Homo-oligomer: A and B are copies of this chain.
Protein backbone atom coordinates (compact mmCIF):
# COMPACT_ATOMS: atom_id res chain seq x y z
CA UNK A 1 0.00 0.00 0.00
CA UNK A 2 1.35 3.40 -1.05
CA UNK A 3 1.58 6.12 1.56
CA UNK A 4 1.79 9.82 0.85
CA UNK A 5 5.33 10.02 2.28
CA UNK A 6 6.54 7.35 -0.16
CA UNK A 7 5.46 9.16 -3.31
CA UNK A 8 8.24 9.84 -5.78
CA UNK A 9 7.23 11.64 -8.97
CA UNK A 10 8.89 10.84 -12.29
CA UNK A 11 8.12 13.18 -15.19
CA UNK A 12 8.73 11.95 -18.73
CA UNK A 13 9.06 15.09 -20.83
CA UNK A 14 10.06 16.95 -17.67
CA UNK A 15 11.95 19.66 -19.56
CA UNK A 16 8.92 20.66 -21.65
CA UNK A 17 6.74 23.60 -20.66
CA UNK A 18 4.04 21.61 -18.86
CA UNK A 19 6.66 19.14 -17.59
CA UNK A 20 8.47 21.98 -15.84
CA UNK A 21 5.18 23.28 -14.53
CA UNK A 22 4.36 19.93 -12.84
CA UNK A 23 7.94 19.62 -11.60
CA UNK A 24 7.49 22.89 -9.72
CA UNK A 25 3.94 21.99 -8.65
CA UNK A 26 4.82 18.62 -7.10
CA UNK A 27 8.09 20.01 -5.72
CA UNK A 28 6.23 22.80 -3.94
CA UNK A 29 3.96 20.16 -2.40
CA UNK A 30 7.01 18.44 -0.94
CA UNK A 31 7.29 15.43 -3.24
CA UNK A 32 10.65 14.43 -4.72
CA UNK A 33 10.63 14.74 -8.51
CA UNK A 34 12.88 13.04 -11.09
CA UNK A 35 12.90 14.02 -14.72
CA UNK A 36 13.60 12.35 -18.06
CA UNK A 37 13.65 14.11 -21.41
CA UNK A 38 15.62 14.19 -24.63
CA UNK A 39 19.22 14.65 -23.53
CA UNK A 40 18.87 13.69 -19.86
CA UNK A 41 20.92 10.81 -18.52
CA UNK A 42 17.86 9.37 -16.80
CA UNK A 43 15.67 7.55 -19.32
CA UNK A 44 11.89 7.22 -19.39
CA UNK A 45 12.41 3.54 -18.65
CA UNK A 46 14.40 4.37 -15.50
CA UNK A 47 11.53 6.50 -14.22
CA UNK A 48 8.89 3.97 -15.18
CA UNK A 49 10.66 1.29 -13.15
CA UNK A 50 11.62 3.33 -10.09
CA UNK A 51 8.98 6.05 -9.53
CA UNK A 52 5.50 5.42 -8.21
CA UNK A 53 3.90 8.43 -9.91
CA UNK A 54 4.88 8.23 -13.56
CA UNK A 55 3.67 11.34 -15.35
CA UNK A 56 3.81 11.36 -19.15
CA UNK A 57 4.14 15.02 -20.21
CA UNK A 58 5.47 14.69 -23.75
CA UNK A 59 3.92 16.47 -26.77
CA UNK A 60 0.40 15.22 -27.60
CA UNK A 61 1.42 13.48 -30.80
CA UNK A 62 4.02 11.34 -28.94
CA UNK A 63 1.95 10.49 -25.87
CA UNK A 64 0.49 7.16 -27.02
CA UNK A 65 3.84 5.92 -28.32
CA UNK A 66 5.61 6.81 -25.04
CA UNK A 67 2.83 5.14 -23.03
CA UNK A 68 3.23 1.98 -25.12
CA UNK A 69 6.97 1.97 -24.48
CA UNK A 70 7.01 2.57 -20.73
CA UNK A 71 3.54 1.46 -19.56
CA UNK A 72 4.47 -2.21 -19.11
CA UNK A 73 7.39 -1.22 -16.84
CA UNK A 74 5.33 0.73 -14.29
CA UNK A 75 4.90 -1.05 -10.96
CA UNK A 76 1.47 -2.42 -10.10
CA UNK A 77 0.95 -0.18 -7.08
CA UNK A 78 2.21 2.93 -8.92
CA UNK A 79 0.24 5.51 -10.92
CA UNK A 80 0.58 5.95 -14.67
CA UNK A 81 -0.78 9.38 -15.55
CA UNK A 82 -0.76 11.72 -18.53
CA UNK A 83 -1.71 15.33 -19.26
CA UNK A 84 -2.47 15.21 -22.99
CA UNK A 85 -5.15 17.47 -24.52
CA UNK A 86 -7.09 14.50 -25.86
CA UNK A 87 -7.97 11.55 -23.65
CA UNK A 88 -9.74 8.62 -25.38
CA UNK A 89 -6.81 6.91 -27.07
CA UNK A 90 -4.30 7.66 -24.33
CA UNK A 91 -6.44 6.37 -21.46
CA UNK A 92 -7.40 3.19 -23.30
CA UNK A 93 -3.74 2.60 -24.21
CA UNK A 94 -2.59 3.11 -20.62
CA UNK A 95 -5.19 0.59 -19.43
CA UNK A 96 -4.17 -1.84 -22.16
CA UNK A 97 -0.39 -1.83 -21.74
CA UNK A 98 -0.04 -1.33 -17.97
CA UNK A 99 -1.31 -3.10 -14.85
CA UNK A 100 -0.70 0.00 -12.72
CA UNK A 101 -3.27 2.53 -11.57
CA UNK A 102 -4.23 4.75 -14.51
CA UNK A 103 -5.38 8.36 -14.55
CA UNK A 104 -5.85 10.55 -17.59
CA UNK A 105 -5.81 14.25 -16.80
CA UNK A 106 -6.07 17.44 -18.81
CA UNK A 107 -5.07 20.68 -17.12
CA UNK A 108 -7.23 23.31 -18.85
CA UNK A 109 -4.57 25.98 -18.57
CA UNK A 110 -1.17 26.77 -19.97
CA UNK A 111 2.30 26.73 -18.45
CA UNK A 112 2.14 30.47 -17.80
CA UNK A 113 -0.15 30.02 -14.77
CA UNK A 114 1.66 30.42 -11.45
CA UNK A 115 -0.48 27.79 -9.68
CA UNK A 116 -3.77 25.87 -9.90
CA UNK A 117 -5.86 28.40 -8.02
CA UNK A 118 -9.04 29.01 -10.00
CA UNK A 119 -7.94 26.67 -12.77
CA UNK A 120 -9.76 23.56 -13.99
CA UNK A 121 -8.24 20.09 -14.27
CA UNK A 122 -10.22 17.42 -16.07
CA UNK A 123 -9.75 13.90 -14.71
CA UNK A 124 -10.58 10.76 -16.65
CA UNK A 125 -10.15 7.92 -14.17
CA UNK A 126 -8.89 4.66 -15.63
CA UNK A 127 -8.08 2.36 -12.71
CA UNK A 128 -7.20 2.73 -9.03
CA UNK A 129 -9.19 4.85 -6.60
CA UNK A 130 -6.42 5.63 -4.10
CA UNK A 131 -4.37 7.60 -6.56
CA UNK A 132 -7.37 9.42 -8.00
CA UNK A 133 -8.45 10.58 -4.55
CA UNK A 134 -4.91 11.54 -3.66
CA UNK A 135 -4.40 13.71 -6.77
CA UNK A 136 -7.83 15.22 -6.47
CA UNK A 137 -7.00 16.15 -2.88
CA UNK A 138 -3.73 17.82 -3.86
CA UNK A 139 -5.39 19.81 -6.66
CA UNK A 140 -8.46 20.89 -4.70
CA UNK A 141 -6.27 21.91 -1.76
CA UNK A 142 -4.40 24.17 -4.19
CA UNK A 143 -7.66 25.84 -5.25
CA UNK A 144 -8.31 23.96 -8.52
CA UNK A 145 -11.67 22.83 -9.80
CA UNK A 146 -11.58 19.13 -10.73
CA UNK A 147 -14.04 17.84 -13.32
CA UNK A 148 -14.32 14.04 -13.46
CA UNK A 149 -15.61 12.72 -16.78
CA UNK A 150 -15.12 9.91 -19.30
CA UNK A 151 -12.43 10.32 -21.98
CA UNK A 152 -15.10 10.28 -24.70
CA UNK A 153 -17.14 13.10 -23.14
CA UNK A 154 -13.96 15.11 -22.59
CA UNK A 155 -12.90 14.74 -26.21
CA UNK A 156 -16.36 15.70 -27.49
CA UNK A 157 -16.42 18.98 -25.60
CA UNK A 158 -12.81 19.69 -26.53
CA UNK A 159 -13.84 19.69 -30.19
CA UNK A 160 -15.59 22.97 -29.34
CA UNK A 161 -13.47 24.28 -26.44
CA UNK A 162 -10.17 23.69 -28.24
CA UNK A 163 -11.18 22.74 -31.75
CA UNK A 164 -13.52 25.49 -32.90
CA UNK A 165 -11.81 28.12 -30.76
CA UNK A 166 -8.34 27.53 -32.20
CA UNK A 167 -9.66 26.91 -35.70
CA UNK A 168 -11.60 30.17 -35.88
CA UNK A 169 -8.80 32.20 -34.28
CA UNK A 170 -6.13 30.73 -36.57
CA UNK A 171 -8.37 31.24 -39.61
CA UNK A 172 -8.89 34.89 -38.65
CA UNK A 173 -5.13 35.41 -38.31
CA UNK A 174 -4.46 33.73 -41.65
CA UNK A 175 -7.17 35.82 -43.32
CA UNK A 176 -5.69 39.10 -42.07
CA UNK A 177 -2.27 37.93 -43.28
CA UNK A 178 -3.61 36.76 -46.62
CA UNK A 179 -5.55 40.00 -47.24
CA UNK A 180 -2.34 41.91 -46.56
CA UNK A 181 -4.12 44.29 -44.19
CA UNK A 182 -1.64 46.56 -42.43
CA UNK A 183 -1.45 45.59 -38.77
CA UNK A 184 -0.26 48.95 -37.49
CA UNK A 185 -3.36 50.58 -38.95
CA UNK A 186 -5.59 47.77 -37.67
CA UNK A 187 -4.33 48.58 -34.19
CA UNK A 188 -4.97 52.33 -34.67
CA UNK A 189 -8.60 51.55 -35.51
CA UNK A 190 -9.13 48.67 -33.08
CA UNK A 191 -12.32 48.46 -31.04
CA UNK A 192 -11.94 46.87 -27.61
CA UNK A 193 -13.44 43.63 -29.02
CA UNK A 194 -11.02 43.57 -31.94
CA UNK A 195 -8.10 44.34 -29.66
CA UNK A 196 -9.05 41.26 -27.63
CA UNK A 197 -9.24 39.17 -30.84
CA UNK A 198 -5.75 40.35 -31.83
CA UNK A 199 -4.45 39.28 -28.42
CA UNK A 200 -6.02 35.83 -28.87
CA UNK A 201 -4.40 35.49 -32.30
CA UNK A 202 -0.92 36.49 -31.10
CA UNK A 203 -1.29 34.30 -28.00
CA UNK A 204 -2.21 31.28 -30.12
CA UNK A 205 0.60 31.96 -32.60
CA UNK A 206 3.15 32.20 -29.78
CA UNK A 207 2.60 28.53 -29.00
CA UNK A 208 3.74 25.26 -30.61
CA UNK A 209 2.36 24.74 -34.12
CA UNK A 210 2.84 20.97 -33.60
CA UNK A 211 0.26 20.88 -30.82
CA UNK A 212 -2.32 22.78 -32.87
CA UNK A 213 -1.71 20.46 -35.80
CA UNK A 214 -1.95 17.34 -33.65
CA UNK A 215 -5.19 18.11 -31.82
CA UNK A 216 -7.55 18.18 -34.83
CA UNK A 217 -5.63 15.44 -36.64
CA UNK A 218 -6.05 13.04 -33.68
CA UNK A 219 -9.75 13.71 -32.92
CA UNK A 220 -12.21 13.06 -35.73
CA UNK A 221 -14.97 15.04 -33.99
CA UNK A 222 -12.99 18.20 -34.72
CA UNK A 223 -13.50 17.67 -38.46
CA UNK A 224 -17.25 17.18 -38.01
CA UNK A 225 -17.50 20.44 -36.07
CA UNK A 226 -15.33 22.29 -38.63
CA UNK A 227 -17.71 21.21 -41.39
CA UNK A 228 -20.65 22.65 -39.44
CA UNK A 229 -18.71 25.90 -38.86
CA UNK A 230 -18.03 26.11 -42.59
CA UNK A 231 -21.69 25.44 -43.41
CA UNK A 232 -22.80 28.22 -41.04
CA UNK A 233 -20.29 30.61 -42.60
CA UNK A 234 -21.54 29.88 -46.11
CA UNK A 235 -25.10 30.34 -44.91
CA UNK A 236 -24.39 33.61 -43.11
CA UNK A 237 -22.41 34.95 -46.05
CA UNK A 238 -25.34 34.19 -48.37
CA UNK A 239 -27.83 35.92 -46.08
CA UNK A 240 -25.62 39.02 -46.04
CA UNK A 241 -24.98 38.97 -49.81
CA UNK A 242 -28.74 38.84 -50.41
CA UNK A 243 -29.27 41.63 -47.87
CA UNK A 244 -31.88 39.43 -46.21
CA UNK A 245 -32.20 41.43 -43.00
CA UNK A 246 -35.13 39.38 -41.69
CA UNK A 247 -33.24 36.09 -42.00
CA UNK A 248 -30.13 37.65 -40.43
CA UNK A 249 -32.17 38.82 -37.46
CA UNK A 250 -33.84 35.41 -37.17
CA UNK A 251 -30.41 33.71 -37.00
CA UNK A 252 -29.10 36.30 -34.55
CA UNK A 253 -32.14 35.86 -32.30
CA UNK A 254 -31.87 32.07 -32.44
CA UNK A 255 -28.27 32.19 -31.23
CA UNK A 256 -29.22 34.79 -28.63
CA UNK A 257 -31.92 32.63 -27.07
CA UNK A 258 -29.62 29.60 -27.10
CA UNK A 259 -26.92 31.45 -25.17
CA UNK A 260 -29.36 33.24 -22.92
CA UNK A 261 -31.13 30.05 -21.89
CA UNK A 262 -27.83 28.73 -20.58
CA UNK A 263 -27.34 31.66 -18.24
CA UNK A 264 -30.16 30.67 -15.94
User: Which positions 157-187 of chain A face chain B at CB distance < 8 Å?
Assistant: 157-158, 160-162, 164-165, 167-179, 181, 183-187
Flag if A236 contacts B167 (CB, 8 Å). yes
Q: State the copy count for this chain.
A: 2
Q: Is the CB of A245 within 8 A of B217?
A: yes
**A158–B171 CA distance with the chains assembled, in angstroms:** 18
B-contacting 9-mer, from A67-75, A96-104, A126-134, A247-255: A247-255
Contact of A233 with B by CB under 8 A: yes
Binds B, one of A27-35, A135-143, A207-215: A207-215
A256 touches B160 (CB 8 A): no
Number of A interface residues at 8 Å Cβ cutoff, please give it. Answer: 89
CA A184 – CA B179 in complex, angstroms? 37
**Do A259 and B161 form a contact, CB below 8 Å, given A175-B228, A230-B230?**
no
Tell me whether A255 and B213 are in contact in the complex, defined as CB-CB below 8 angstroms, given that A160-B176, A237-B226 are known contacts. no
A192 cross-chain contacts in B, Cβ below 8 A: 108-110
Contact B252 A223 (CB under 8 A): no
Do A191 and B236 touch across chains, with their CB atoms under 8 A apart? no
A251 to B167, CA, bound (A): 12
- Give Cα A245–Cα B162 distance, bound, in whole angstroms: 18
